[in-house]
Structure 1
């Protein structure tokens, strides 16, 4: 694998940047240590081209992680969705490597109501197995937990454990989203320990508060001090995870969120 690998531990705090045409400039304006970005329209199947700021990104001290498009669903039993999803993951991993990204975030996905969840897990295993025959992915794939759905691959920690039994040996990484875990009905007080118990790792934290109540299955992010999750719980997760932190909170307050987290962590 290529790309910037995670650094010796010192909490790196960053943000998902909406201005994808100038991610480093936006990161600098926010005072971020790292930025997360899309490499194409997240609602479409577009193949990512060369980033227009590639040289600037590679030269910057700001680290980069890429988020795959939302349309990707590797677990799907529908060939017309699963096959383009596999292709998109490989394409976005290749494009991410060209800007020195340390990983590609991919949502855990789901099967449809009534379908066999085990078949969705098997589709994840096949993604890694088939790519291994091609030399592996260009950057680590960071599987992200999701907020809702009884037929989701990564809503609950026990489901994440079943998924990891299938893909853990292929070097998959894990991205913990706090809003998603809250919405899924997972207790945040010990979620880091429970996730690490089944995955052995957390490679990235999406530190987001929630606009909705616990176990709502609704994925609506709030700024750190403004949502239904106790901000001190979020700070504790950031410290316990031992991983880079990306804020995907509402843009108007994201600079304040970075400052808040820096103020309240060691």
Structure 2
């Protein structure tokens, strides 16, 4: 594996536009990046600027920036108990996907949601219902279900729950998975000692062809803790050695890796350079 095959970046603020994010990514040493489609706690999305998009697309091609990973706001709960919250989730996702068609061929990641004591089966049905209402065959963005840590009543704590959602969606060809290393560890998947076995299980239940992005995070908590507390790479319970095996794994190394570690810009630049070095050895 050589340095050029590791596609790694972090979450950037979309407040200043796509061209500004592209420039920031390059300054950090990144060749991919993620961004929230709107304030992560909810709210209206910023108006699109056609000149900004045109400028970014030219910059992206010039600097070899790869797949973008848009992230839905945390407040979007497709399986909320209250109908008005489900309506907000549906309208937000629909709006986000329409906007992302201006940057075709990228990814849209979202947390499946929390069933709020309705039960996982009801949650799965409601999430699939939203996807069936929003997805359409002409769209040019792949929607990613994120693996979750399983805190509270989160849906998506197991590969089986994610598969159950996919199986209920008519246009399932538009769906993929974003695997969060902290989340799967906290959910009980031992990627530290049994990465190959975890990926074999993922392939059996969901299929590795659906794995489209990785959130690369260490965890503040132990295996199966269901806590979802991210740590800087090498400063948590998963450890740097195990995370290096993740970025070097032949089934994963071609994917975009997005850092969501608790860092400032200098910290992200350090982690990006560190993982590039480890991946190239």
Q: TM-score range by the shorter chain?
A: 0.7 to 0.9
User: Are 2:66 and 1:67 equivalent residues in the alignment?
Assistant: no
TM-score by length of 1: 0.87
Give the C-alpha shift of residue 48 in structure 1: 4.1
Partner of 2:85: 81
Provide the C-alpha distance between the structure 2 equivalents of 1:20 and 1:34, rounded to a whole number of angstroms. 18
Aligned length in residues = 256
The Cα offsets for residues 182-230 of structure 1, whole Å up to 9 and x where unpaired, read as 1222221233332232221210000101122222222222221222212
2:168 is paired with a residue of what secondary structure? helix
Conserved? CA contact 1:45–1:88, under 8 Å = no
Alpha-carbon shift at residue 262 of structure 1 (Å): 1.0
Which sections of structure 2, spanning at least 5 residues, go unmatched?
Answer: none
SS in 2 for 1:176: strand
> Structure 1 residue runs of 4+, over 6 Å off?
none
Cα displacement (A) at 1:143: 0.8
Shift of 1:111: 0.2
* SS of structure 2 residue aligned to 1:62: coil
User: 1:244: which partner in 2?
Assistant: 256
SS at match of 1:203: strand
Q: Distance in 2 between matches of 1:67 and 1:98?
A: 16
Pick aligned residue for 1:145 from 144, 147, 150: 147
Higher RCO (C-alpha 8 Å, min separation 6): 2
TM-score, structure 2 as length reference:
0.82
Counterpart of 1:5?
none
Q: Is 2:250 the partner of 1:255?
A: no
The worse-fitting range, judged by mean Cα deviation, of 159-168 and 32-41 is 159-168
Q: How does 1:20-35 map to 2 (within 5 A)?
A: 20-21=15-16, 22-35=20-33
Q: Is the 8 A contact 2:180 2:216 kept in 1?
A: yes
Secondary structure of 1:163 counterpart = helix
Provide the secondary structure at the position in 2 that maps to 1:56: helix
Deviation at 1:55, TM superposition (A): 2.3
Q: 1:121 to 1:19 in 2, by over 3 A?
A: closer
Q: Structure 1's 76 and 215: CA in aligned 2 closer, same or farther, altered over 3 A?
A: same
Displacement after TM superposition at 1:177 (Å): 0.3
Shift of 1:167: 3.3
* Unmatched tracts of structure 1, length 5 or more: 1-8
**SS of residue matched to 1:215:** coil
State which drifts further: 189-198 or 229-238.
189-198
Distance 1:144 1:157, change over 3 A: same
Alpha-carbon distance change, 261 to 102 in structure 1, aligned in 2, over 3 angstroms: same
Query: Deviations along 1:64-105, whole A, 9 cap, x unmatched?
Result: 221111111112232111111011111112222323461111
What is aligned with 1:58? 57
1:155 partnered with 2:169: no
Would you say the 8 A contact 2:132–2:170 is kept in 1?
Answer: no
Asked whether the equivalents of residues 14 and 37 of structure 2 are also in contact (C-alpha less than 8 Å), the reply is no
RMSD of aligned alpha carbons: 2.3
